[in-house]
Structure 1
Amino acid sequence: MQILLHTVVPHPMQGAVNKSDVWLRECVFESGQLYHIVAPSGTGKTSLLHILYGIRHDYSGIVTFNDESIQSYTHSKWCELRTNSVSMVFQGLRLFPELDIMENITIKQKRTNHTPRMSISSMLDALGMMPHIHKKAGVLSYGQQQRVAIVRALCQPFKILLLDEPFSHLDTENAQAALECIMQEVEQQQATCIITSLQSQPFQQHMHVYHL
């Protein structure tokens, strides 16, 4: 799904933007492409993803999905999009600590039945999480929780995939394994993928890189 931002900026950042590749510019994110947004804390990485996920509305400018303004979307439209078209890994992950790994992944999967359990297990295995499959999310390390959140996001249908600092607590090996899973699903679904981080990453040669 093509995303277009036309002179967009969050209200709290008006007058404070300096040399951004995204804010206050004409910025296009194309289907089937991966984008890496690099910026220090406080420059709007999370704000950008929240705007695109429809949970932040205090901004100026125009945002469109496939030439349709998202400002016109109703609450029910956003609910439908978040079920079938837009998937996100939040910086805070939003896992259910009392549920085990598979329960956390399948609780949303039940609404779409998009990914077979065997495929879920394959992704978890690629990320080294199968030995922990019966553990509650609340007892996992933060890096382990990040891997679960990534798999959960990949197991729903999407045309837009948003990931807010998804590798912040992963070592290079696990980050690379997670990226390979992401790239495979993005290619399969011909989705637009936006990943944020605080600094440049070794994997960004696979992506278009923007700075806020």
Structure 2
Amino acid sequence: MNSIKLNNVLPHVFEQVSDLQSDVWKKDICFEKGHLYLVEAASGKGKSTFCSYVIGYRHDYTGQVVFDQKDVRTFNVNNWVNIRQKHISHLFQELRLFPELTAMENVKIKNDLTGFKTDKQIVQWFDMLGIGDKLDAKIGRMSFGQQQRVAMIRALVQPFDFILVDEPISHLDDHNSQIMGDIMMAEAKAQGAGVIVTSIGKHMKLDYEKTLML
């Protein structure tokens, strides 16, 4: 996948808003593979909605979301499974980890399906992010900031053309935020992938090529 386009997309919930000011809604925009984007928004402007449209969880909008000239409304379940397994990785704002499993088990659930990374590489990322001692800790007993780091590692153990990360560092200090950003960008560069970061405030300090306001 080389591009993600939003053509005149407008969430149904905003249809009655007469003074909508946005770089995304009701605009024609294109995210290209290999480039770095920041999507910023105030609360209630549709950041999570934007993510849901890109990943195909919601379709309550007018306009078109297009992947490489194909309108996603034409995709069936198998198409979306393929997209999420091989083309778009997503770090959810709410993380969606399994609290009853350990940190390593949460990552290996995906990596066992993809076979994309070695255990050695995964452990190295844990160490780099300062949670090497949490491999066998239950997620439910870890802080939210520690869980964010685990969720990022899980997002990286698959092939992708784009990675969409939603509020990835809301509970991290600047040091760990920088390390997580460096790891993510190194993996994205290795895969030649595009990166889309969303934020309602604090965001990774990266060299964004384009910033869009929702």
* TM-score, normalising length: structure 2: 0.95
Q: Distance in 2 between matches of 1:45 and 1:100?
A: 30
Say which SS state the counterpart of residue 185 (structure 1) adopts.
Answer: helix
1:45 aligns with 2:47: yes
In structure 1, the partner of 2:8 is 7
Alignment of 1:192-207 (within 5 A): 192-199=194-201, 201=203, 203-207=205-209
Quote the offset at 1:15 in angstroms: 3.1
For structure 2, list consecutive stretches of 5 or more residues without a partner in the other structure: none
1:81 aligns with 2:83: yes
In structure 2, the partner of 1:58 is 60
CA distance change for structure 1 residues 200 and 25 in 2, over 3 Å: closer, same or farther?
farther
Q: Distance in 2 between matches of 1:147 and 1:131?
A: 13
1:97 aligns with 2:119: no
Quote the offset at 1:40 in angstroms: 1.0
Quote the offset at 1:91 in angstroms: 1.1
CA distance change for structure 1 residues 19 and 176 in 2, over 3 Å: closer, same or farther?
same
> Structure 1 stretches (4+) deviating beyond 3 angstroms?
204-207
**Aligned partners of 1:164 and 1:195 also within 8 Å:** yes
Q: Distance in 2 between matches of 1:72 and 1:191?
A: 24
In structure 1, the partner of 2:168 is 166
**Aligned partners of 1:36 and 1:204 also within 8 Å:** no
Percent sequence identity over matched residues?
39
In structure 1, the partner of 2:210 is 208
CA distance change for structure 1 residues 95 and 201 in 2, over 3 Å: closer, same or farther?
closer
Say which SS state the counterpart of residue 55 (structure 1) adopts.
Answer: coil
Bigger drift between 97-106 and 83-92 goes to: 83-92
**Aligned partners of 1:98 and 1:137 also within 8 Å:** yes
Supply the RMSD in Å over aligned alpha carbons: 1.3
Quote the offset at 1:148 in angstroms: 0.3
**Equivalent residue letter for 2:10:** V
In structure 1, the partner of 2:135 is 133
Say which SS state the counterpart of residue 205 (structure 2) adopts.
Answer: helix
Cα-to-partner distance string for 1:88-125 (whole Å, 9 max, x where unaligned) = 11111000001111100010111110111111111111
Cα-to-partner distance string for 1:36-81 (whole Å, 9 max, x where unaligned) = 1111111011111111111011011111111111111001110121
Q: Distance in 1 between matches of 2:80 and 2:15?
A: 26
Cα-to-partner distance string for 1:139-162 (whole Å, 9 max, x where unaligned) = 000000000001100111111211
In structure 2, the partner of 1:119 is 121
CA distance change for structure 1 residues 13 and 206 in 2, over 3 Å: closer, same or farther?
same
Q: Distance in 1 between matches of 2:37 and 2:16?
A: 26
Q: Distance in 2 between matches of 1:202 and 1:101?
A: 23
Q: Distance in 1 between matches of 2:115 and 2:141?
A: 27
Q: Distance in 1 between matches of 2:204 and 2:94?
A: 23
Aligned length, in residue pairs? 212
For structure 1, list consecutive stretches of 5 or more residues without a partner in the other structure: none
Match of 1:36 among 27, 35, 38: 38
Q: Distance in 2 between matches of 1:38 and 1:200?
A: 10
Q: Distance in 2 between matches of 1:52 and 1:186?
A: 18
In structure 1, the partner of 2:26 is 24
